[in-house]
């Protein structure tokens, strides 16, 4: 990442240094202090400028509520609390979260989209493509939260000896179904397609589960033999786990929301050692990309 000095940043933004210091004092511009000197990340300055150009001059847009919608995740919920950001959560799945983001009903959406490429491999970055295709998100930013492990949740001891989706299909094991529009449902769809099957080939549980913990409870209650969720969910519920894939789990937001104090508090927290420690405790997380900007429109 390229950093600019105070004088370089003032020239770059065509501002006087006094005005620049006012913005720094008010916490209104991205910057960091190193050995007593202010430094300004050039890429984030570009986003800061664009956040003010995303609407016509004179038009004010109401700030979205301080809520992170989209997918449920235990490490994310913990981070929202521990960061002191004041952000709440609304877990409805990746697709519903992105819809709410487009309507400015949430400040950010936690997403993990899945699709197949032309060669029937898992698409390398389905979440980026989902943002590109979303109407009214010309000012979108995608910030990495973590990578996390998805797989099959199984009753303790794995009584049916399931080793993967092919065993689920061959043995007719009952699958706890994720809610339509969740990342887990998209992942199950694409994995079935790669196996030459569809949802109709599954022996499905009756009521779909909106979150991973809900799905785990279905399995614990003996109403299903397996389901797709994260390793962290399996561990919390005391269930067995068979790994399937690692995925990107990201925060989508508008550029103007990226610079809001609540979001900046969360993003700063992503660089703290406490997040890494908690990720290790929960298992199934790789926090190394946390806080990186993976896409900006």
Please tell me the predicted confidence (pLDDT) of residue 33.
Answer: 78
Residues 154 and 240 in one domain: yes
Residues 234 and 252 in one domain: no
- Provide the 10 A C-beta neighbour count for residue 78: 16
Q: Is the pLDDT of residue 295 over 50?
A: yes
Mean pLDDT of 88-116: 94
Q: Is the pLDDT of residue 56 over 50?
A: no
Residues 137 and 257 in one domain: yes
Residues 132 and 273 in one domain: yes
CATH classification at residue 18: 3.90.105
Range(s) of the domain holding residue 45: 3-53
The reply to whether 62 falls in a domain is no
Secondary structure E strands in the chain: 3-4, 32-34, 37-41, 67-70, 88-89, 108-111, 140-154, 174-176, 203-204, 226-230, 240-254, 285-286, 293-296
Residues 137 and 161 in one domain: no
Please tell me the predicted confidence (pLDDT) of residue 237.
Answer: 96
252 versus 56: which is more confidently predicted? 252
CATH classification at residue 206: 3.40.190.10
- pTM of the entire structure? 0.79
Q: How confident is the model at residue 296 (pLDDT cuts 50, 70, 90)?
A: confident
Residues 240 and 157 in one domain: yes
- Provide the 10 A C-beta neighbour count for residue 75: 22
Mean pLDDT of 19-47: 82
Lowest mean pLDDT among 49-53, 127-131, 238-242, 266-270: 49-53
Residues 137 and 271 in one domain: yes
CA dihedral angle for residue 150, residue 255, residue 3, residue 26, rounded to 10 degrees: -120
The reply to whether 59 falls in a domain is no
Please tell me the predicted confidence (pLDDT) of residue 203.
Answer: 94
- The secondary element (H helix, E strand) that includes residue 187 is helix 183-194
| Domain count along the chain | 3
- Provide the 10 A C-beta neighbour count for residue 206: 10
Please tell me the predicted confidence (pLDDT) of residue 26.
Answer: 76
The reply to whether 60 falls in a domain is no
């Amino acid at each position: 990442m390229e950093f600019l000095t105070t004088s370089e940043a003032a020239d770059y933004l065509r501002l006087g240094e006094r005005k620049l210091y006012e913005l720094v004092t008010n916490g209104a511009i991205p910057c960091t202090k190193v050995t007593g000197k202010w430094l300004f990340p050039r890429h984030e300055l570009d986003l800061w400028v664009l956040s003010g150009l995303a609407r016509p001059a004179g038009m004010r847009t109401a700030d979205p509520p301080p809520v992170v919608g989209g997918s449920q995740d235990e490490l994310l919920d913990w981070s929202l609390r521990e960061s002191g950001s004041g952000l709440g959560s609304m877990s409805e799945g990746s697709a519903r979260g992105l819809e709410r983001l487009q309507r400015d009903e949430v400040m950010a959406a936690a997403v993990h989209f899945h699709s197949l490429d032309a060669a029937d491999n898992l698409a390398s970055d389905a979440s980026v493509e989902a943002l590109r295709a979303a109407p009214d998100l010309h000012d979108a930013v995608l910030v990495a939260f973590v990578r996390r492990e998805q797989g099959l949740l199984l009753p303790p001891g794995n009584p049916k000896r399931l080793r993967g989706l092919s065993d689920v299909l061959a043995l007719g094991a009952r699958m706890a179904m994720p809610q339509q529009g969740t990342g887990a449902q998209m992942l199950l769809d694409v994995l079935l397609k790669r196996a030459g099957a569809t949802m109709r080939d599954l022996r499905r549980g009756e009521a779909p589960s909106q979150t991973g913990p809900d799905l785990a409870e279905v399995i614990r209650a003996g109403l299903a033999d397996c389901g797709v969720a994260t390793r962290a969910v399996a561990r919390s519920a005391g269930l067995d786990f068979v790994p399937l894939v690692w995925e990107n789990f990201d925060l989508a937001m508008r550029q103007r929301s990226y610079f809001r104090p609540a979001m900046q508090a969360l993003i700063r927290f992503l660089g703290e050692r406490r997040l890494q420690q908690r990720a290790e405790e929960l298992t199934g997380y790789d926090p190394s990309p946390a806080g990186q900007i993976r896409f900006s429109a």
